[in-house]
Structure 1
Amino acid sequence: MAARSCLYALVLFLAFQSTMIQANIVLTPPQCRPVLASSLERIQFLLNLIIYKAEFFLRASTGRGIDDIAPGLVQGPVPVGATVAALDNDTRRIIEELGLICVGHISEVAGYGVLRAQLYSRVNSTLSPYTFTVGRFYNLSAELDNRLGGCGMKDEGLFVPLQLGAENRTTSNVVPADVNSLAYARYEREILGIVFGNGNATRPGAIFPAGFNGILFRRIVL
C-alpha cells in the first residue's frame, strides 16, 4: 500500500507540474505580453516617459516646466503638485541640465517622428520634378547612407520586409530600428563617410568640403 500511495502521489505531482507549466504558457497575463502597435504609437508612448522626466527634473530644480522652456512643444494638462526640491546649488544645476536635455530629446523624437510619419502618408506621391515616388526616393537615400557608412544596414526606407519590421510584426517603418525596436547606432567614421559623400572619413567633401572642426575629427584624419 505504501508503494501504491507513493505512486499515486508521484502521478498527482507530475500532473500538477504539467498543469502549472501549461498555465504559465497559456495564461500569461496581458501586462506580460507585448502590445501590437505601430512605430508612431511607440513614439507617442515613449514621449510620455520623456515628458515626465523633463517635468520632474525642471520643476524639482527651478519650479518651471516644459511650457516655460519651450512653449507649444507639448500638449496636455500642466502637472499638479510639483514643488521645488531642497537641493544645494551644484545639485540643482545638474538636475536642471538633465531636464533641459530631456526637452531636447522631446524635440528630436517629436520633428523626426512627425517628419517620417508625413513622408509615410505620402509614400506613393510623385516627388516633383522627378518621376519616382517619395517612398522610392527615401529608399534610395537609405541605401546610399548604408553604402557610404560602410557598416551594414543602419538606415531604412519607409517600408521594410516583415522580417526586418519592429518585433517582426510590421512592414511600415516610421522609425528606423532593428527587429527589437532598438535604434541603430552610427559612429563618427560612419557619419563622416556619409556627410562627406564618398564613404571616406578622412577625405572631406559634399556638404563639409573643409572637414570638421575639433580634436576628434583631427584625430580621425591623422
Structure 2
Amino acid sequence: MAFHNSRSTLGVLFTTLVLFGVLVAVCIPSCTAQANFTTTDYENIQVALNLEYLEAVYFLWGAYGYGLDNLTPHLTEGGPKPIGVQKANLDNLTRDIVAQLGLEEIGHLTILQKELGRYYFPRVQLDLSEANWAKIIDNAFGEKLNPPFNPYKNSLNYLISAYTIPYVGLTGYVGTIPLLQGEGAKALVAELLGVEAGQDAVIRTLLYTVKDELVPPYKYTVAEFTEKISSLRNNLSHAFVDEGLEVPKSEGADGLVTGNILSANTYSLSYARTAKQVLETVYGTGNPSIPGGFFPKGGNGTIALGYLKS
C-alpha cells in the first residue's frame, strides 16, 4: 500500500512538473510582452504620436524649409504632405534651436516606429498654413488681428506659435503615465516626457526674456500673447491646465512671484491632460469628435478614431 501511494505521489508530481513546464513555455513570452507594452499602452501612446508628427513637421520646416519627406521619408509611411508649412524667417540663434527641436522629433518618431510596431500609423494630415495659424491666434484673442498673425514672418512670431505645441504634448504625457501598465511603456513615455518638457522650457525661456515687449505691429505684449493662448487651451480642454508667462502672485511659485517661467500647479507640479483633452485642444474645437485646427481630418490611432466615429 505504501509503495502504491509513493507511485501515485510521483505520478502527481510528474504531471505537475509537466504542466508547470508548459505554463512556463507559454507564459514567459506573453509575460515579457506584458511587462513591456499592453494593448492599452499602445493605444494611449498613439495619441501622442499625432503630436510628435505635428512637432516634427513644424520645427523641421521652420528651420530648414523641408521636413520628413526629405530627411526621413520612411517615418511618414506614405502619409499626406502637410498643408501650407514653410520655412520661417529666423535669426541664426532661433534657427539653430528650432533645428535641434526638429531633429529631436525625428528621434522620437524613430523610437515610436520601433516600439509601436503595427500600432505606428502613417503621418496624418496637418494644416500649418498662414491662414490656419491666423485663425488660431484670432480665436485666442477673440478678435481678428490686423494684419493676420503670420508665424513665419520673424523669430518672435515663430516662437509664439511654437509656444502652442510642445506644452500640450507634455501635459498629455503626464496624463498618460498613470494609465500605463507595461514597464517598457512607462520607461518610453517618461523619456519622451523629459524632452518634451525641455522643449517647452526652452521656448518659454526665450519668450520670457522679452515678455514685456510689444509684438509688432500689435498692441499686445509677448506675455499677453501667451496668456491668451493658454486661456484658449484651457477653454478647449475644459479644465485649468495651462498658464502663460505671467500669473497673479497667488498663482506663482510658492505664491510669491508673478513671473511664470514654467507652467505648474500650486505645488509646482506639471498639469496633466487626458487623451480626450489633448484632442479637444489640438483640434481647436473643444470636441474630440470634431476635427479641425492642426488636424483638419482628425488624428489617427484607436482612441482618436473612436471619438471621430462617435
**Structure 2 length-normalised TM:** 0.38
Counterpart Cα distance in 1 of 2:189 and 2:282: 25
Normalized per residue, the structure richer in helix is 2
Counterpart Cα distance in 2 of 1:112 and 1:169: 23
Residue-by-residue CA offset, 1:51-82 (whole Å, 9 max, x unaligned): xxxxxxxxxxxxxxxxxxxxx99xxxxxxxxx
Of 168, 173, 176, the residue aligned with 2:260 is: 173
Q: In structure 1, what residue type is equivalent to 2:263?
A: P
Residue-by-residue CA offset, 1:171-190 (whole Å, 9 max, x unaligned): 21111111101111011121
Partner of 1:3: none
Instruction: Give the drift of 1:102.
Output: 6.4
Partner of 2:306: 219
Q: Go from structure 1 to structure 2 and tell me whether the alpha carbon gap of 1:198 and 1:102 turns closer, same or farther (over 3 Å shift).
A: closer
1:18-167 to structure 2, matched below 5 A, reads 98=187, 104-151=192-239, 153-167=240-254
Partner of 1:91: none
**Structure 1 length-normalised TM:** 0.51
Q: Go from structure 1 to structure 2 and tell me whether the alpha carbon gap of 1:141 and 1:103 turns closer, same or farther (over 3 Å shift).
A: same
Partner of 2:65: none
Higher relative contact order (CA 8 A, sep 6+): 2
Q: Go from structure 1 to structure 2 and tell me whether the alpha carbon gap of 1:214 and 1:176 turns closer, same or farther (over 3 Å shift).
A: same
Q: Is the 8 A contact 1:163 1:179 kept in 2?
A: no
Q: Is the 8 A contact 2:279 2:304 kept in 1?
A: no
Q: Does 1:206 align with 2:301?
A: no
SS at match of 1:198: coil
Runs of 4+ in 1 over 6 A off after TM superposition: none
Aligned length: 128
Q: Is the 8 A contact 1:189 1:201 kept in 2?
A: yes
Counterpart Cα distance in 2 of 1:210 and 1:134: 31
Q: Which has more radius of gyration? A: 1
RMSD of Structure 2 on Structure 1 (CA): 2.6
Counterpart Cα distance in 1 of 2:257 and 2:233: 23
In structure 1, the gaps of 5 or more residues are 1-71, 74-93
Q: Go from structure 1 to structure 2 and tell me whether the alpha carbon gap of 1:124 and 1:112 turns closer, same or farther (over 3 Å shift).
A: same
SS at match of 2:204: helix
Instruction: Give the drift of 1:145.
Output: 0.6
Partner of 1:196: 283
Instruction: Give the drift of 1:104.
Output: 4.2
Q: Percent identity?
A: 34
Instruction: Give the drift of 1:105.
Output: 4.5
Counterpart Cα distance in 2 of 1:198 and 1:101: 26
Q: In structure 1, what residue type is equivalent to 2:264?
A: A
Q: In structure 2, what residue type is equivalent to 1:159?
A: E
Counterpart Cα distance in 2 of 1:217 and 1:105: 20
